[in-house]
Structure 1
Amino acid sequence: MDKVIVAYWSQTGNTAAMAAAIGEGITEAGKEAVVTDISSVSMDDLQAASAFALGCPAMGAEVLEEGEMEPFVTEVEAFASGKKIGLFGSYGWGDGQWMRDWEDRMKAAGATVVGGEGVICQETPDDEALENCKALGKELAALA
């Protein structure tokens, strides 16, 4: 597949900026990036993809956003086995527990978490975080 989907939920724009940087990495690697909010992603396209990225910031007591993202991730878990998934998101407090929990969920569903762990940053992504996102995009493009 020449397209790599980057589906995300963002409240303040930090996770959206990370998604855009992942998309840049995918494009730089010669693939087409489809960067979209989870409300606009085609679940059929996501299910057909061998590799894709999912992004969500930490919410509340370091959990995924519960209204839209949590049900979306639950749906992805049903077909995650064998998929290569890049995870990313920002946080404002805590130590990244929401990402470790998300990684564990995807691995338990049979997915491979690309890079071994999710890409996280505190608050607005800095240059290093954006470079890590681009690198994730390039890695996903190579797997797609």
Structure 2
Amino acid sequence: MSVSIVYWSGTGNTEAMARAVAKGVESAGKNAVLLEVDAADAAALSEEDAFALGCPSMGAEELEESEMEPFVIELEPLVSGKKILLFGSYGWGDGEWMRSWAERMKAAGAVLVREEGIIANETPDGNALAECEAAGKELAELS
């Protein structure tokens, strides 16, 4: 059984969080599949019961617009009943992009593993990475 972790990372911060989620998935005995968003397929991902999506805050607290936002638009009508973990890093603001993303996914019928996602200011610290790992384990147990 595999759990996909699809992410976009510009600086490596969100990638580090994705790797921590993967570590948690594997600690629960599942295979973690790390995919940069440009290598992911929304239709294939929608066949999974549980998966993770990661993206940093960009611009005015938005998802990355050239790859991640189009992917999320394609995936959005397919997420009803899916268990999803959202995560990402930010460098400014207060996490509004994550709250908006979480509300968007809940409105589409997704069940979020962490109600407001997991966010890290800049480089994720040990606490953020531990939270990602714990959430990855929980996600795997739900799959």
Calculate the TM-score normalised by the size of structure 1: 0.97
1:9 has 2:8 as partner: yes
2:108: which partner in 1? 109
1:126 has 2:125 as partner: yes
Does the Cα contact within 8 Å between 2:9 and 2:56 map onto a contact in 1? Answer: yes
Report the identity percentage: 59
Calculate the TM-score normalised by the size of structure 2: 0.98
Q: Distance in 2 between matches of 1:42 and 1:111?
A: 18
Shift of 1:128: 0.3
How many residue pairs get aligned? The number is 143
Q: Which is further off, 41-50 or 108-117?
A: 41-50
SS in 1 for 2:100: helix
Q: Distance in 2 between matches of 1:72 and 1:42?
A: 8
SS in 2 for 1:39: helix
1:65: which partner in 2? 64
Q: Distance in 2 between matches of 1:44 and 1:104?
A: 21
1:38 has 2:37 as partner: yes
SS in 1 for 2:106: helix
Q: Which runs of 5+ in 2 are unaligned?
A: none
Q: Which runs of 5+ in 1 are unaligned?
A: none
Q: Which is further off, 110-119 or 57-66?
A: 110-119
> What RMSD in Å do the two structures reach over aligned CA positions?
0.7
Moved over 4 A (4+): none
